[in-house]
Amino acid sequence: MILQALKEYYDRKAADPDSNLPPFGWERKEIPFLAVIDQNGRFLRFEDTREGEGKKKRAREFLVPSLGEKKGSGIKSNLFWENVEYMFGIPVPKKGKNEVNVERVAQQHETFCARIERIRGDSAAIHAAKAFCRDKENAERAKADPLWEEVLATNQSILLSLVGHGPVTNDAAVRTAVGSADEAENPVVCQV
């Protein structure tokens, strides 16, 4: 009874356009960089979303699919947003460590792409995101970008963005597809 009432309250709050509450399965996340891709999934450039000066720079907030759990030390990928290793399959040297586990980074990238491949839907954003994962030259294009050193140094979250349309997570078909995939993988059951 209490769970049902809480779910109904959440549904009312999430439906309110003035509410800052993200829909179920989504979260608001500060993302410092966008990886801008074209319709064919080709990486074009990074865009810095941060504002402010020096160390007080603050990234813009985006609505993104939630992983729904802590990542821990396992390999678990977010959907459409991740760090350099997951998104591009590029090893990032860690402070105090000379070697990078190249096999682990390859698995991280495969996991990132596998989650995107499982999304069903027919929109330019979905097709571009899938094509991005299939384009083996994107890592080299990313390394040639003028913002690469800064992206690499921070190795924080990057969100895929379709040129001329904005973040892929803003696409209505993506939001519907993600909601459907979340429900299929993790059905929510509330009994009275």
List, for residues 67-102, the tens digit of each pLDDT value. Answer: 877 777 889 999 999 999 999 999 998 877 778 889
Are the CB atoms for 37 and 162 separated by under 8 Å?
Answer: yes
Are the CB atoms for 174 and 81 separated by under 8 Å?
Answer: no
Bridging pattern class, strands 158-162 and 166-167: antiparallel
Cα R_g (the chain), whole angstroms? 18
Q: How far apart are the C-alpha atoms of 165 and 46, rounded to whole Å?
A: 15
Q: 44-71, pLDDT tens digit by residue?
A: 999 999 998 877 889 999 999 998 777 7
Across the range 163-180, mean pLDDT stands at: 91
* Residue 17: predicted pLDDT: 58
Q: Which residues contact 8 (CB under 8 A, 6 or more apart)?
A: none
Closest CA to 65 of 185, 145, 191: 185
Q: What is the mean pLDDT of the chain?
A: 87
* Residue 143: predicted pLDDT: 97
Q: How far apart are the C-alpha atoms of 48 and 126, rounded to whole Å?
A: 23
Closest CA to 38 of 134, 169, 163, 165: 163
CA distances from 157 to 7, 61, 90, 178 (A): 30, 11, 14, 19
Across the range 130-138, mean pLDDT stands at: 97
